[in-house]
Amino acid sequence: MADTMQTTTTSTPRKADTNPVTRFFRATEVDTRLLGMIGALLIIWIGFNILTDGLFLTPRNLWNLTVQTSSVAVMATGMVLVIVTRNIDLSVGSILGFTGMLMGVMQAQILPEWLGFGHPAIWALALAGGLVVGAMVGALHGLVIAFLGVPSFIVTLGGLLIWRGATWFVTSGQTVAPMDPTFRLMGGGTTGSIGATWSWIVGLVACLAIIAAIINARRQRMRFSFPRKPVWAEYVIGGIGCATVLGFVLVANSYYWPVAIARRYAEANNIAWPDGGLQIAHGIAIPVLIAIGAGIVMTFIATRLRFGRYVFAIGGNPEAAELAGIKTRWVTVRIFALMGMLCAVAAAISTARLNAATNAQGELDELYTIAAAVIGGTSLAGGVGTIAGAMLGALVMQSLQSGMVLLGIDTPLQRIVVGAVLVLAVWLDTVYRARAK
């Protein structure tokens, strides 16, 4: 009894006598870890901006940054669930290569023979085929891990070699190109963006969704008369959320088409070429939308569905999960199937961006994906991790690389820096967790 008395008495005065900053964080219930990551990201951005004399924080660079991040970010969302259940997936890069190659062959060679060249269904069929194969490869890994009891490290290490080899066998090592024009939109670029108007519409819908989510959460808690956040805290969170979304749209809309493409577009559409040049905004790139969509869907799965609850429960205490009647083995299979499917989504983005499917596609991506998840706060001990954190982690890694490219740093040195940052990030996280206890 005395124990609980103590905890309740210490928690009450804590609110009163702490400084305004701590009180602010407590009232808004923001994840301080996530906040720290955003802080680190901003420091990296501003640092590179100073070092490159303002080249880093330009609409063009930021826009490219988001496009380059999207493929790894998509896979990182799945890697969170894998690592949360105390597993690892080393095969994601190879699955990306394999499904990318299959999608390439389907749209460049197989489907045109059946449907005729340029048939409008080709991109969708190729994508669907890739997703199914990705899910099947992942499920196969999951079955071996869950039912045959082979550690995931070994199964996916085998997968890393097997699927890279299988990629070679699809075309005997030949590169497949070009991709279907519609499929290529998934890679971003001038045409693979949704333009200024649609970007604003997407931004406004996102803002409305944020506000609706806040109101709904508040209503739900009112229904059961639970303690609620102060109203000002809700306004602050809603305001910051909407400002971030609209700021992002503004940046995407400030990056205009290259002059040559704009001129060609003007000629094709009989638009008079104005004196100052025609400024057509890119808007949000489609791969970025895909990545954000994947992030939202995966967050929903992880936090709102039973499946997600089971994933975290298994990560926290596998025996307790088993005793509670959770079919832990099937959950594992489903996690890996989901991971495989996300690899196929990432493969679609990267083959579309490259406009080709190659043998080497996705090499080393498994390491970047794992690093993104871990930098994003996913604990290798299991049970802890967020999708948003992993996506931010991917953005941090890509920012580092992109900044170093702008600075003209050689690839070997880039790798050294990225590797050092990974270790540093995990060390800082360990320190943070030890303090939090």
Partner 1 sequence: MTDQNTPLVEMKNISISFGGIHAVENASIDLYPGEVVALLGHNGAGKSTLIKILSGAYRRDAGDILINGEPADIRNPRDAKGHGIETIYQTLAVADNVDAAANLYLGRELQTPWGTLDDVAMEANARKVMGRLNPNFKRFKEPVKALSGGQRQSVAIARAILFDARILIMDEPTAALGPQETAQVGDLIKQLKLDGIGIFLISHDIHDVFDLADRVFVMKNGQVVGHARTSDVTKDEVLGMIILGKCPPGAIPGPGAMVAA
Q: Between 325 and 412, name the residue whose CB sits nearer to partner 1.
A: 325
Q: Between 17 and 319, name the residue whose CB sits nearer to partner 1.
A: 319
**Distance (Å, rounded) from C-alpha 279 to C-alpha 263?**
10
Q: Is 231 in the site for partner 1 (CB under 8 A)?
A: no
Q: Is 4 exposed, middle or buried (0-12, 13-18, 19+ CB in 10 A)?
A: exposed
**Distance (Å, rounded) from C-alpha 183 to C-alpha 287?**
11
CA 130 to chain CA centroid, nearest Å? 19
Question: Is the torsion defined by CA of 212, 217, 223, 225 positive or negative?
Answer: negative
Query: In which element (H, E) is residue 92 found?
Result: helix 92-105
Three-class DSSP category at 256: strand
Name the segment binding partner 1 (CB under 8 A); options: 114-122, 223-231, 275-283, 388-396. Answer: 223-231
Q: Between 305 and 416, name the residue whose CB sits nearer to partner 1.
A: 305
Q: Between 320 and 423, name the residue whose CB sits nearer to partner 1.
A: 320
Q: Is 326 in the site for partner 1 (CB under 8 A)?
A: yes
Q: Between 264 and 306, name the residue whose CB sits nearer to partner 1.
A: 306
Q: Between 124 and 320, name the residue whose CB sits nearer to partner 1.
A: 320
**Distance (Å, rounded) from C-alpha 433 to C-alpha 427?**
10
Q: How far is the CB of 323 from partner 1 (least distance, A)?
A: 5
Q: Between 1 and 268, name the residue whose CB sits nearer to partner 1.
A: 1
Q: What is the DSSP letter of 185?
A: G
Beta-bridge partners for 256: 281
Q: For partner 1, which residue of 3, 17, 53, 113 counts as binding (CB under 8 A)?
A: 3
In sequence order, the 6+-apart residues with CB closer than 8 A to the CB of 98 are 133, 137, 163, 164, 166, 167, 170
Query: In which element (H, E) is residue 432 found?
Result: helix 411-436
Q: Is 323 in the site for partner 1 (CB under 8 A)?
A: yes
Q: For partner 1, which residue of 122, 344, 374, 384 counts as binding (CB under 8 A)?
A: 384
**Distance (Å, rounded) from C-alpha 108 to C-alpha 7?**
65
Q: For partner 1, which residue of 43, 161, 271, 320 counts as binding (CB under 8 A)?
A: 320
Q: For partner 1, which residue of 32, 109, 220, 411 counts as binding (CB under 8 A)?
A: 220
Q: Is 274 in the site for partner 1 (CB under 8 A)?
A: no
Q: Between 129 and 385, name the residue whose CB sits nearer to partner 1.
A: 385
Binding marks (x or -) toward partner 1, 180..219, rule CB under 8 A? ----------------------------------------
Q: Which of 94, 105, 74 is nearest to 357 (CA)?
A: 105
Q: Is 221 in the site for partner 1 (CB under 8 A)?
A: yes
Q: Between 359 and 379, name the residue whose CB sits nearer to partner 1.
A: 379
Q: Is 268 in the site for partner 1 (CB under 8 A)?
A: no
Q: For partner 1, which residue of 319, 408, 412, 434 counts as binding (CB under 8 A)?
A: 319
CB atoms within 10 A of CB 334: 21
- 201 within 8 A of 392, measured Cβ to Cβ: no
Q: Is 360 in the site for partner 1 (CB under 8 A)?
A: no
Strands (E), 155-299: none
Q: Is 48 in the site for partner 1 (CB under 8 A)?
A: no
Q: Between 3 and 53, name the residue whose CB sits nearer to partner 1.
A: 3
As a whole number of Å, the CA-based R_g of the chain is 23
Q: Is 172 in the site for partner 1 (CB under 8 A)?
A: no
Q: Is 383 in the site for partner 1 (CB under 8 A)?
A: yes
To which residue do tokens 């990201």 refer?
41
Q: Between 60 and 309, name the residue whose CB sits nearer to partner 1.
A: 309
**Distance (Å, rounded) from C-alpha 71 to C-alpha 350?**
6
Q: Is 10 in the site for partner 1 (CB under 8 A)?
A: no
**Distance (Å, rounded) from C-alpha 128 to C-alpha 426?**
37
Q: Is 21 in the site for partner 1 (CB under 8 A)?
A: no
Q: Is 276 in the site for partner 1 (CB under 8 A)?
A: no
Question: Is the torsion defined by CA of 351, 355, 359, 362 positive or negative?
Answer: negative
Q: Is 269 in the site for partner 1 (CB under 8 A)?
A: no
| Residue ranges in 288-317 that form contacts with partner 1 under rule CB under 8 A | 300, 303-306, 309, 312-317
**Distance (Å, rounded) from C-alpha 85 to C-alpha 296?**
20
Got the DSSP string for 157-169? HHHHHHHHHHHHH
Joined tokens for residue 425:
């990030």
- 94 within 8 A of 362, measured Cβ to Cβ: yes
Q: How far is the CB of 227 from partner 1 (least distance, A)?
A: 9
Q: For partner 1, which residue of 113, 224, 272, 276 counts as binding (CB under 8 A)?
A: 224
Q: How far is the CB of 66 from partner 1 (least distance, A)?
A: 29
| Footprint of partner 1 (CB under 8 A) | 1-5, 7-8, 11, 220-221, 223-224, 226, 300, 303-306, 309, 312-317, 319-321, 323-326, 383-384
